[in-house]
Chain A
Amino acid sequence: MTNALQIDGLVKTYGDGFEALKNIDLHVAEGDFFALLGPNGAGKSTTLGIVCSLVNKTSGRVQVFGHDIDTDLSAAKMNLGVVPQEFNFNQFEKVFDIVTTQAGYYGIPFAKAKLSAERYLRKLGLWEKRNSPARMLSGGMKRRLMIARALVHEPRMLILDEPTAGVDIELRRSMWAFLEEINRQGTTIILTTHYLEEAEALCRNIAIIDKGRIVKHTSKKDLLQQLSVETFVLDTDQNLTEPLALEGFTTRIDGEGALEVDVEKSQGLNGVFIELERHKIKVLSMRTKANRLEELFLRLVEDNAGEQGAHS
């Protein structure tokens, strides 16, 4: 089956000599919910910018549903919807006009564009605001407006660059639910995000990019299986000031007197509780120190920094 996105040997070198992308290969299957993760300046937005024709590539090949952006750009664009990181609509235009105008750029007649715009504005809770100038919307509404605009021509692939940045938790959850719904209906979704719990909750496949290189490209399941040690934070009924000697476990006391315990995947949590029972310590609550993906992400990025340092 043709991939929704196929990137081979992608290189981007800016005019000042900065190499933003160093020979990147990436593929996203049709129907996938895919996350492209990486620290600031890693090359996420540059990669997606090239796919969307907002950035000119230096070399390499990009295909969207088999359409090469060098030879068949129009067909590639027809299949794409883009939600950028920054608000990029005319703040003085009305919400409805912004969405129907975008449909017009894709050659959709106004009568049909009106129906499609109404459908997505209703779904995203913006229908009541359709006659308001975009500048009057809240930050969360502006983000949803960009999603409605990106979907109005019914693309097969939706690219979202930090779609929930600055959005409150409730709204973020409702946006997740909406994205999951359109993904279930067959739209391939690629997102970049700083909220790793977002990627963990939504995505099936993940690539991690750092310093212009893909350092990991696998399924979320496989990635999480690579996490060999997880750190748990335990609030206890005792005022601990020093790490406890729990047999087989490394422990620390965090700044607020809670007990941190490193647990290897092979060990399981039962051993921790048996040891605590032996010390007559009662656990009041427990949580993971960071979400699992976050731990892996930091580890991979740190490893990559180490490798880069070794080669420089």
Chain B
Amino acid sequence: MSPHAIFTAFSTIVVREVRRFTRIWPQTLLPPAVTMTLYFVIFGNLIGSRIGDMGGFNYMAFIVPGLIMMSVITSSYANVVSSFFSMKFQRSIEELLVSPVPNWVILLGYVAGGMTRGLGVGLIVTLLSLAFTQLEIHNLPVMILTVFLTSALFSLGGFINAMLATKFDDISIVPTFILTPLTYLGGVFYSIDLLPAFWQGLSLINPILYMVNAFRYGILGVSDVNVGLALVMIVLFITVLSIICLRMLQRGKGIRH
């Protein structure tokens, strides 16, 4: 395929993904907006006003970056895992498999689709947060880089989950039992400085902690971890997961006989 044809194929996948999640917006865009508004009201306003400052900021300002990141992670992952698995389930994945689209373009298209939804939801949550607190961006490049890379990383994670899944239960196990606990324990609601030394050490092996803190640094200028290290880690994870995804596509794991 020529570069122009490859770009057409890539944009076709992205457009189809965007069309899918906007068609079912009450399932994809509305729930995070409602959930995060409740977080802002309950944790930020009602409970947060009694907690006082965290990391040098009022509690609402402290949790906003984490909640934005949480919605980006969840939405990016959910988009790819549900879309790709549905295609497998309905066998419409065969439309792609019989076409000359290279595997890396298929992967890139799905990741871009996941990122579009993840970042779109992130933007919605950010706009909602402005009704509760003021956001003064400390370091725009770090903020943007972190949220883009994190969204890409979890889109790749969703892709692997979808490739391995054989039934609908399989696509909810990882988000429910791995992603949600890691996100809640990833410094969204607290600074790990509050934890005893043992739990602080344990928290440092949670990759989501690095993403949340790097993003928080971009907005507030505070972080529990080294921001440079966090970005390097995310890039490293993206590289490893991309290789795994491409190998799975090459072998046709779960999609070819």
Q: What is A's interface to B at a CB cutoff of 8 Å?
A: 14, 46, 49, 52-56, 73-75, 77-78, 80, 82, 84, 86-93, 97, 101-102, 104-110, 149
Contacts and interface: CB of A to CB of B under 8 A. Distances in A.
A89 B95 contact: yes
Contacts of A49: 257
Chain A interface mostly? loop
B8 A55 contact: no
Nearest to B7: A107
A104 B94 contact: no
A107 B101 CA distance: 8
Given A53-B256, A74-B100, A104 B92 contact: no
Interface residues of B, number: 31
B12 A56 contact: no
A56 B256 contact: yes
A101 B12 contact: yes
Given A90-B86, A105-B99, A107-B6, 12 more contacts: A53-B256, A54-B256, A56-B256, A56-B257, A77-B100, A88-B91, A90-B87, A102-B99, A105-B12, A105-B100, A107-B4, A109-B8
B23 A14 contact: no
Contacts of A78: 100
A75 to B, nearest CB: 8
10 contacts: A53-B256, A73-B100, A74-B100, A84-B94, A89-B95, A90-B90, A104-B15, A107-B9, A107-B100, A110-B8
Contact of A101 (B4, B94, B95, B102): B95
B2 interface: yes
5 nearest A-B pairs in the assembled complex, by CB-CB distance: A107-B5, A104-B12, A105-B99, A88-B91, A74-B100
Contacts of B233: none
A101 B97 contact: no
Contacts of A107: 1-2, 4-6, 8-9, 100
B247 interface: no
Which of B5, B23, B91, B99 counts the most chain A CB atoms within 10 A?
Answer: B99
